[in-house]
Amino acid sequence: MKIAFYGTKSYDKIWFEPMGKEYGFDIHFIEAACNRETVFMAKGYDAICIFVNDYVDAEMIDALYEMKVKAILLRSAGFNNVDVKAAEDKIVILRVPSYSPEAVAEFAMALLLTVNRLTHKAYNRTREFNMSLNGLMGTDLYEKTVGVIGTGKIGQAMIRILNGFQTHVLCYDPYPVEGLEAEYVSLDELFKSSDIISLHCPLTKDTRHLINKDTIAKMKKGVYLVNTSRGDLIHTEDLIDAMLEGKFGGVGLDVYEEEEGVFYEDKSGDIITDDNLARLMTFPNVLITSHMGFFTKEAMQAIAKVTLENAYALENGLPLVNQVGAEMVQV
């Protein structure tokens, strides 16, 4: 199988290169992201392999179909960046439904601990021998109420971590799971009662802008918000307005509405034209990271393994256990 591997970073090759050789795949690593301008590079390949900030819309599906590309191999669980309906009966879409839920949950906790205890600021201060504690006061997590929205694989891992901190965990999910050490409540109740809210639901038509001026109004003053799921869960301008009013104790964002083309790139020498992103960066109690919750050795290895197993199954007519079908699309 010939695979056009879009959006290649050096760390992608660590596992994909040797494992791809073992399978006998011909993987062509392309640095460019997959988009309307670069889709033509897939000509002559059997499959394309893409990540979260690549996209494939209906027009590109038709182009790929004409080029006889048979599959889109997603190196991610989420598939909101592919027009799955347009691909029906034309191109097979395969994903990695789970690689390391713990990696993302642990990162969500790291964001919370950092933005609460301000260790990122303390690190910079002590490097300059500024040992003052002014402005570095945090809050205990012990016995605080934490709302987890979405109790799938990552939400459940987060609940386990939060229980280790002896917090009281509330959760919301339209499909509750039995046996969790957490109390299911309505979304309204969760917004009203939580000292900390962590988002772990997928991006769907129901969850887009779940955090907006109306839901923010229901939250406690001083609430902490962590988003490691998808940027579009938050209405960024409403978040900024609330930040200006002093509503939030702290906000940790690993994802952002307009992250495509910015996250995963070195933009340190560029003029930032996204005013919302620039504004968010100015708040001392907002911490932004570049969609890296998944980024552990274990997760990267698992992503390569499952992506290539998907390709192998397709090539050999085996059951496609990780196929994304139009019936799974909610956006």
CB of 58 to ligand NAD, least distance (A): 22
Considering only residues 202-261, where is the footprint of ligand NAD by CB under 6 A?
A: 202-204, 206-207, 228-230, 254-255
Which residue stretch of 33-41, 149-157, 213-221, 242-250 sits at the interface with ligand NAD (rule: CB under 6 A)? 149-157
Instruction: Return the residue of 101, 249, 250, 252 that touches ligand NAD, per CB under 6 A.
Output: 101
Type of residue numbered 204: T
Q: Which residue is nearest to ligand NAD (CB)?
A: 152
Q: Show contacts with ligand NAD in window 178-197 (CB under 6 A).
A: none
State which of positions 289-318 bind ligand NAD (CB under 6 A).
Answer: 291, 293-294
The span of 7-15, 198-206, 218-226, 264-272 binding ligand NAD (CB under 6 A) equals 198-206
Decide if residue 171 touches ligand NAD (CB under 6 A).
Answer: no
95 is catalytic: no
List, in sequence order, the alpha helices (H) in the chain.
10-23, 58-66, 84-87, 101-117, 119-127, 153-164, 187-193, 213-218, 236-244, 275-282, 297-315
DSSP code for 71: E
Using CB under 6 A as the binding rule, whether residue 170 contacts ligand NAD is answered as: no
Cβ–Cβ < 8 Å for 116, 226:
no
Residue 316 CA to residue 318 CA, distance in Å, equals: 6
Q: Is 200 in the site for ligand NAD (CB under 6 A)?
A: yes
Secondary structure letter of residue 253 according to DSSP: E
154 binds ligand NAD (CB under 6 A): yes
Greatest extent of the chain over all pairs of C-alpha atoms, in Å: 64
Q: How far is Cα of residue 28 from the mean position of the Cα atoms in its chain? A: 25
